[in-house]
Chain A
Amino acid sequence: MNGVSLQAAGGKTAAGKVKKTSKLTLIRKDIWLYILLIPGVIHYIVFKYMPMWGLLIAFKDYNAYLGFFNSPWVGFKHFAEFFSNPDFKRLLSNTLQISFYNLVFGFPAPIIMALMLNEIRKEWYKRAVQTLVYIPHFISWVIIASLTYTIFNSQGVVNKYLLQMGREASVPFLTDSRYFRAMIIGQTIWKETGFGTIIYLAALSNVDPQLYEAAIIDGANRFRQLWHITLPAIRSTVVTLLILRLGHILDNGFDQIFLMSNSLNRKVSEVFDTYVYIIGITKGAFSYSTAVGLFKGIIGIILIYSANWLAKKVGESGIL
């Protein structure tokens, strides 16, 4: 069919009817490309853009009987309610603290590990380490939470060793709110550090080895090589990932936090993501929880664009 239309277009030109190819002809030429688009485009409309439109219920009093269109508009009522709610300060503080520790400890971890791997000269050793450290990334949070419970509960391996070493009582890693953040950051580092090295190692593999050779001849020691060659090679990758990270500062990852929280650590474990689930899905306050989610989303988008602007300002390429 396409071949025919191509020939037809050619024939017209040959016949002297010089005409600008109209949009319709262009579409007919590649009709199959447009047909292939359909399922994916519908997917984006239904599962990505309809929910965005559904965010409007944050400004309504959503009622399942009245439905989406007939529920009454209430303006910023839910937002006002949320900001004056004592929960707000607690949620913001919990969310930011977890994000902050994740940024301070979790973000540099893969960079440091990539630099360490880069210093390994024995190829087989490097490959063995890489094979093992990538594994946790592919394991679900349910399994990781289960492993954590198995290993850190009061009769778990860790407490057995602590008791053997002379502690009188077992340490309540899972139930005491003091340990909650440390457990969360520890899990994240264990799960994602190895996999996070991939992107940095790829940037490092593009470095011309001649640079190192030249540096050695010039008398640079390993630290100088790291400072002047290796680090500049990954700088733009670091900036890009940092921008992405800043955009997600209010996302703590629902799965991990939800699985690790319990009634004993709720006061530090409740974050925006889990609050939306509990208020919205289990308590049915759809409009209010949508307002909470929308607030989070808008802050996220502001942060990501500002971080991008800042990155361009300091001379990096940015991502947007």
Chain B
Amino acid sequence: MKYKRSFLSRLFDAFNYTFLGAFACTAILPFLYVLACSFSSEKEILERPFYIIPRNIQLTAYKYIFSSPTLPRAFMISVFVTIAGSATAMFFTLTLAYPLSKKYLLGRNILLALISFTLVFGGGMIPTFLVIKSLGFINKFWALILPGAISTWNLLVVKNFFQELPQELEDSARVDGCNALGTFLRIVLPLSMPVIATFTLFYAVGYWNDYRSSLLYMTDNKKWPLQLVLRQIVLMAAGNIDGATFDEAYTQPPLEGSKNAVIVFGTAPILLVYPFLQKHFVKGIMIGAIKG
């Protein structure tokens, strides 16, 4: 429907398009700048203000970070924790969400109440730390994987999704002699592939980005994932954090360029899966936005 637009209306549109465009640019430009810096010489980083195309591309920074095993090892640890973590998390989330989606399940309401309660109240950092410690998980990768294996929010979203699947399909499988487990594995899971994809990616992003668990539970710095090493190299070496030391495995202090290279390492996997993530997450979030 077309109608005559006033001057004010057009002025607003001009402002609106410009402002949103600018905001969108600020969301991506820091990454492009860091990427450019990681391929530049020290001199260029120091002299030039913002740029996204380096004058002459060089790999000094990357050579530097591969000069000790610290970073490659941390990268592999992060990859391992992310893959093992998302698989574990999906196992726990799906197996709990499916029974909870059945309204006739005995004790369902009390379980849901107890689960939802954890959204508003929890034991907090210290009691959780003591539980992990008493389980003997300190310096074990279990400490990075298990505590975050169910996000209550994700669980409730998946539960709501299962609840909305047509019950007739499951009933007919049951009539044909399939038990609840068979129905779950052969009927429900294949129908839930988009949801499974979404939440696997959500969990993967969470595990990749997690740094608090390793800060709390990993005292052995040979078992540190990328995020913690990143903090040490970039923030501590900047002298901004108390007890500033960088890994003695590196023979010289990190150069500006190599800090940027480390940031690239921490960000690149997320940006690579982002297109797949984006395809699903809006839908995934909306499924759960319904109360109940």
Contact assessment for A120 and B277 in the assembled complex, using a CB-CB cutoff below 8 Å: no
Is B13 among interface residues, defined by CB-CB distance under 8 A?
A: yes
CB distance from A223 to the nearest CB of B (A): 9
Of the candidates B30, B118, B177, B285, which one forms a contact with A44 in the assembled complex, judged by CB atoms under 8 Å apart?
B118
Q: How many A-B contacts are there with CB distance less than 8 Å?
A: 271
Of the candidates B33, B105, B180, B227, which one forms a contact with A140 in the assembled complex, judged by CB atoms under 8 Å apart?
B227
Of the candidate stretches B60-68, B191-199, B235-243, B245-253, the one touching chain A is B235-243
In the docked arrangement, what's the CA distance between A297 and B262, Å? Answer: 36
Taking CB atoms, residues of chain B closer than 8 Å to A309 are none
In the docked arrangement, what's the CA distance between A301 and B122, Å? Answer: 10
Is B75 among interface residues, defined by CB-CB distance under 8 A?
A: no
Is B267 among interface residues, defined by CB-CB distance under 8 A?
A: yes
Q: State whether A202 and B209 are in contact (beta carbons under 8 Å apart), knowing that A50-B123, A150-B263 are contacts in the complex.
A: no
Taking CB atoms, residues of chain A closer than 8 Å to B178 are 3
Query: Of residues 1 to 55 in B, which have CB atoms within 8 Å of A's CB atoms?
Result: 1, 3, 6, 9, 12-13, 16-17, 19-21, 23-28, 30-31, 33-34, 37, 46, 49-50
Query: Of residues 269 to 315 in A, which have CB atoms within 8 Å of B's CB atoms?
Result: 273, 276-277, 280-281, 286, 289-290, 293-294, 296-297, 300-301, 304
Q: Mark A28-52, 1 if CB is under 8 A from B, else 0.
A: 0011111111011101101111111
Most buried by B among A26, A40, A141, A254: A40
CB distance from B158 to the nearest CB of A (A): 11
Query: Of residues 112 to 171 in B, which have CB atoms within 8 Å of A's CB atoms?
Result: 114-115, 118, 120-131, 134-135, 146-147, 149-150, 155
Contact assessment for A131 and B278 in the assembled complex, using a CB-CB cutoff below 8 Å: yes
Of the candidates B28, B99, B130, which one forms a contact with A34 in the assembled complex, judged by CB atoms under 8 Å apart?
B99
CB distance from B132 to the nearest CB of A (A): 8
Of the candidate stretches A93-101, A157-165, A177-185, the one touching chain B is A157-165
Taking CB atoms, residues of chain A closer than 8 Å to B98 are 33, 36
Could you list 23 examples of A-B contacts with CB < 8 Å? A1-B179, A3-B177, A27-B106, A30-B102, A33-B180, A35-B181, A36-B99, A46-B135, A54-B130, A55-B127, A119-B13, A135-B27, A138-B274, A140-B270, A143-B267, A146-B259, A150-B234, A150-B259, A151-B30, A259-B231, A273-B125, A277-B125, A281-B216
What would 8 more interface pairs be, CB under 8 Å, given A39-B91, A51-B127, A149-B234?
A33-B98, A36-B180, A116-B16, A139-B267, A140-B208, A143-B227, A160-B49, A301-B121
Q: Which residues of B contact A (CB under 8 A)?
A: 1, 3, 6, 9, 12-13, 16-17, 19-21, 23-28, 30-31, 33-34, 37, 46, 49-50, 91-93, 95-100, 102, 104-106, 111, 114-115, 118, 120-131, 134-135, 146-147, 149-150, 155, 174, 177-181, 184, 205, 208-212, 216, 227-228, 230-231, 234-235, 238, 240-242, 259-260, 262-263, 266-267, 270-271, 274, 277-278, 281-282, 285-286, 289, 291
